[in-house]
């Protein structure tokens, strides 16, 4: 027995014909389980669009998918190889295109194009929705409606272009700057170690002149490693940057702290015994002493040129003839205070 199911809407009527397979109790509405023919009546045509199950599936799927994309505002052109497709037109219109191959009686040579208003489209969609909701007609067929989340692109993807542009600019700038020659490094002349003192000490320059930084090979024990620049006899320590006076080179091995302390105290004793005069203002001297503590050389380092004849009390103590091993600073202050300290500080 052929069954017929009709879904009638103002702008669309869907008529399904088919058979019921299996037995049903007579008081129940029989289930149309096998479709033989579907007719789709649209207001634009007097004759229905007629086809079989493939036509039903193609038309329903195309219409449903199109309605969803249109509702969410993401309507895009469908692929051209589908037998039934819909496209959006301006002014809330929609074009339904059906390939004749999917119809039972393809009388036309080319695809069939039908323009629908939104209300007509809705009626077509609603007819299929009613069919889908009817569990006694084609219970194995339905129109899936699943919410698929369309997540935005992660932020890092949007930042890729600016980031890569920045990095490439940085790389280019680095290469460009690498071509600029860097300034030549020149060691100050006086940083080079002077030859060892083997005879009379070289006359020193006036202390008032701005003294260059001398790498007085201070006999400090801070240099435990061998010095970087090999110099013949005196082991030259790397230049301590604190010295400011020109001085004769000391030919010696670095002294220990104990040795320095003992020399300093010897100098102190000598100057203390010899200093009798009153000084008008503080006087500073750089004194070279030998290994016995005898004063070998005296240089005035007081900036003021109006000072008395240099080293008045100290000149008497000078004894030439031996080699200096240590530079000490002697300060004669007003009020009779005497200060003696190693010129380059105590070794560690």
Answer for which of 23, 26, 46, 74 binds other proteins (CB under 8 A) is 74
| Using rule CB under 8 A, residue 152 touches other proteins | yes
Under rule CB under 8 A, residue 303 binds other proteins: no
**Among 44, 32, 25, 27, which residue's Cα sits nearest to residue 7?**
32
Question: Three-class SS string for 181-248?
Answer: CCCCCCCCHHHCCCCCCCCCCCCCCCCCCCCCCCCCCCCCCCCCCCCCCCCCCCCCCCCCCCCCCCCC
Give the x/- contact pattern for other proteins in 77-116, rule: CB under 8 A.
Answer: --------------xx------------------------
Interface with other proteins, residue 122, by CB under 8 A: yes
Nearest to 345 by CA among 232, 209, 254: 254
Instruction: Tell me if 140 contacts other proteins by CB under 8 A.
Output: no
Q: What residues contact 161, with CB distance under 8 A and at least 6 apart?
A: none
Nearest to 121 by CA among 147, 86, 91: 86
How near is the Cβ of 113 to other proteins at its closest, in Å?
19
CB nearer to other proteins: pick between 24 and 92: 92
Asked if 149 touches other proteins (CB under 8 A), the answer is yes
22 lines the binding site for other proteins (CB under 8 A) = no
Q: Mention every residue, 6+ apart, whose C-beta is less than 8 A from residue 194.
A: 249
Provide the 8-state DSSP code for 32.
B
Binding other proteins (rule: CB under 8 A), the pick from 56, 58, 125, 218 is: 125
Does 132 participate in binding other proteins (rule CB under 8 A)?
yes
| Site membership for other proteins, residue 146 (CB under 8 A) | yes
Binding other proteins by CB under 8 A: which of 1, 23, 26, 71? 71
Residues near other proteins (CB under 8 A) are 10, 67-68, 71-74, 91-92, 117-119, 122, 125-126, 129-130, 132-133, 143, 145-152
């Amino acid at each position: 027995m052929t069954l017929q199911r009709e879904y009638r809407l103002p702008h669309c009527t869907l008529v399904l014909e088919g058979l019921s397979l299996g037995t049903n109790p007579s008081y129940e509405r029989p289930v149309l389980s096998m479709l033989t023919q579907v007719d789709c009546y649209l207001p634009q045509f007097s004759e229905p669009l007629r086809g079989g199950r493939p036509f039903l599936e193609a038309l329903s799927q195309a219409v449903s998918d199109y309605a969803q994309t249109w509702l969410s505002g993401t309507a895009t052109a469908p692929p051209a190889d589908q037998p039934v497709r819909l496209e959006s037109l301006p002014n809330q219109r929609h074009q339904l295109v059906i390939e004749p191959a999917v119809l039972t009686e393809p009388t036309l040579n080319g695809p069939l194009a039908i323009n629908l208003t939104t209300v007509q489209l809705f009626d077509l969609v609603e007819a299929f929705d009613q069919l889908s909701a009817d569990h006694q007609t084609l219970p194995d067929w339905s129109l899936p409606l699943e919410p698929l989340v369309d997540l935005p692109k992660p932020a890092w993807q949007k930042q890729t272009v600016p980031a890569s542009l920045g990095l490439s600019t940085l790389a280019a700038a680095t290469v460009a700057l690498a071509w600029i020659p860097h300034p030549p490094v020149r060691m100050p002349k006086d940083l080079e170690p002077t030859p060892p003192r083997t005879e009379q000490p070289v006359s020193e320059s006036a202390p008032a002149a701005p003294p260059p930084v001398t790498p007085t090979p201070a006999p400090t024990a801070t240099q435990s490693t061998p010095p970087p620049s090999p110099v013949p006899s005196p082991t030259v320590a790397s230049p301590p940057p604190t010295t400011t006076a020109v001085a004769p080179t000391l030919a010696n091995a670095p002294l220990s702290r104990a040795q320095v302390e003992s020399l300093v105290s010897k100098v102190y004793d000598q100057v203390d015994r010899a200093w009798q005069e009153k000084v008008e203002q503080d006087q500073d001297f750089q004194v070279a002493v030998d290994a016995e503590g005898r004063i070998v050389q005296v240089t005035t380092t007081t900036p003021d040129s109006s000072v008395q004849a240099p080293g008045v009390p100290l000149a008497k103590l000078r004894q030439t003839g031996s080699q200096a091993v240590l530079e000490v600073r002697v300060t004669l202050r007003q009020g009779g205070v005497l200060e003696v300290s190693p010129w380059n500080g105590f070794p560690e």
